[in-house]
Amino acid sequence: MTSEKFPKLINRFLNYVAVDTQSDEQAKTIPSSPKEVAFLADLSAELQAIGLQHVRTMADGYVFAELPSNININNDKVPTIGFIAHVDTADFNGKNVKPQIIENYDGFSTIKLGHSGYELSPSAFPNLKKYTGHTLITTDGTTLLGADDKAGVAEIITAAEYLVAHPEIKHGNLRFAFGPDEEIGIGADHFDTEAFGADFAYTIDGGPVGELEWETFSAAGATVTIQGRNVHPGTAKDTMVNAIQVAFDFHAQLPEKERPEHTSGREGFWHVMSITGNPETAELRYIVRDHNRAKFEERKQRMLHIAENLNKVFGTERVTVSLNDQYYNMGEILKDDMQSVNLAERAMQALNIEPIIEPVRGGTDGSKITFLGLPTPNLFAGGENMHGRFEFISTTVMTQATETILKIIDMAQDTTRVD
């Protein structure tokens, strides 16, 4: 199975997803997993083999590579563009990924996911209806697929390889980066924008065809720790403080309608990720999200205020809230510098791809990289239903993503560099 123009694209992707690269949120190392380190080392060798230059591994685990300009005149006027993807996968089983190939999908049939008992059906997943006539790559129902973001990795490398093999195609200076730990929110914390050397960049880490995202959530993680007082339940009256019950009480004071399952668009939320404990101690872990910075700060303050009020009732500090900002809405920066967004929009339109420009209800490495000084909107890579067993991707869309990268590079020659 190949793409006519990019014969290595699909097999490259299938080879990548066969490797387990799940990041480890509990680790203290950078990158968080030796699996990522090994995969990035293999990518480094591949980048050198296809003819990219100045391939090197940075202190934070990122692999950087370059393709020098082949434009003979006015090269200083053409922007240097970067393309970025992450290699780690999310916290769902990523071991022994065994993709299924569904050729010429009819748009209405149910797809059985191996012998797992799970299936993809248009009734449960209406997005399948968009893919009539496409070849789909699915899971076997026991793992995720890993299109987030190995599709982006495969598309960037395939585009770079195509340019090396076709030197008659003119382009400016290009930069490529592949990094770890995006899924645990720390991958781009120390991204070296100066060493990368681009004027602007794109993460190829979005979903369906046409996605062009330059606004994201602002995001924080919150850990609520509760210290109870456990005694025998038979003599508990006016003495016991059940930490689990206090956890329930804390959560009940957050607005019920401001959970992920009740929100959309620019609406923010509190999302409880886990609850652990016993009557003596308990812990709640949340993610906090909002596109509006002021509302984002209000959400964090509300959690602190709930804890403060509970502690007043107890007369001692039994509830503590630890907050950790993860990333901010890159739209706060990009709204004042839309060169990269406008170029991508024109490139898609030139390929008869309708740009889908919506605030993303999540974040990408581009969120952090933008705040580090490198404008970095996010482009589609093609994955659907990401982070779980129902993930799939269209080979047609992967080809379109690769074409979009090349079209951006081509059209950049008509873009004046901003110094």
Domains annotated for the chain, with CATH where assigned, are: 9-216+329-414 (3.40.630.10), 218-327 (3.30.70.360)
For 318, the token pair is 């039994």
| Mean pLDDT of the region 97-111 | 97
The reported pLDDT for the residue numbered 227 is 98
Q: How confident is the model at residue 1 (pLDDT cuts 50, 70, 90)?
A: low
Whether the model clears a pTM of 0.85, i.e. scores above it, the answer is: yes
Residues 363-406 pLDDT 10s: 889 999 999 999 999 999 999 999 999 999 999 999 999 999 99
What percent of the chain clears pLDDT 70, i.e. is strictly above it?
97
Asked whether 381 and 148 are in contact (CB, 8 A), the reply is yes
CA atoms within 13 A of residue 323's CA, in its CB half-sphere: 18
Q: What is the mean pLDDT of residues 272-279?
A: 97
Alpha-carbon gap, residue 132 to 11, rounded angstroms: 22
pLDDT value of residue 281: 98
Q: Cα(177)–Cα(65) distance, rounded to whole angstroms?
A: 6
Q: What is the C-alpha separation between 193 and 179, in angstroms, rounded?
A: 13
Predicted pLDDT at 77: 81
Residue 332 tokens, joined: 């706060």
Tracing tokens 């509970």 back to the chain, one arrives at: 310
Residue 261 structure tokens: 């399952």
Q: Which residue's entry shows tokens 């602007």?
A: 200
The pLDDT of residue 51 is 98
What is the per-residue pLDDT across 299-354, written as a single tens digit (0 to 9) for each? 999 999 999 999 999 999 999 999 999 999 999 999 999 999 999 999 999 999 99
List, for residues 199-214, the tens digit of each pLDDT value. 999 999 999 999 999 9
| Residue 417 pLDDT class (50, 70, 90 cuts) | low
User: In the prediction, which pLDDT does 4 show?
Assistant: 83
Q: What is the pLDDT of residues 146-163, one digit of tens each?
A: 999 999 999 999 999 999
Please tell me the distance from the alpha carbon of residue 159 to that of residue 399, in angstroms, as a whole number: 10
Residue 149's nearest CA partner among 203, 82, 74 is 203
Q: Does residue 419 have a pLDDT over 60? A: no
Confidence band (pLDDT; 50, 70, 90) for 185? Answer: confident
Say what percent of the chain tops pLDDT 90. Answer: 93
* CA 123 and chain centroid, separation: 26
Q: Give the burial string for 13-27 (b: 16+ CB within 10 Å, else e).
A: bbebbebbbbbbeee
Residue indicated by tokens 């740009």: 355
Residue with token string 């970095």:
376
Q: Is the pLDDT of residue 3 over 80?
A: no
415 pLDDT above the threshold of 90: no
DSSP strands (E only) in 228-280: 269-277
Residues whose CB is less than 8 angstroms from the CB of residue 257 and which lie 6 or more positions away in sequence, other chains included: 263
Count how many residues are written for the chain: 419
The reported pLDDT for the residue numbered 387 is 93
pLDDT for the residue 266:
93
Under 8 Å between Cβ of 306 and 209: no
Q: What's the confidence (pLDDT) of residue 2?
A: 59
Which strands sit side by side in the sheet containing 319-327, from one edge to the other? 269-277, 281-290, 218-227, 319-327
DSSP state of 115: T
Nearest to residue 154, comparing CAs of 326, 2, 306? 2
Mean pLDDT across 17-22? 97
Q: What is the set of active-site residues? A: 88, 182
Q: What number is the average pLDDT over the span 169-174?
A: 96
Q: What is the mean pLDDT of residues 59-80?
A: 88
Q: Which of 349, 40, 343 is nearest to 210 (CA)?
A: 349
What's the pLDDT score for residue 20?
97
Rounded to whole angstroms, the Cα distance separating 161 from 150 reads: 16
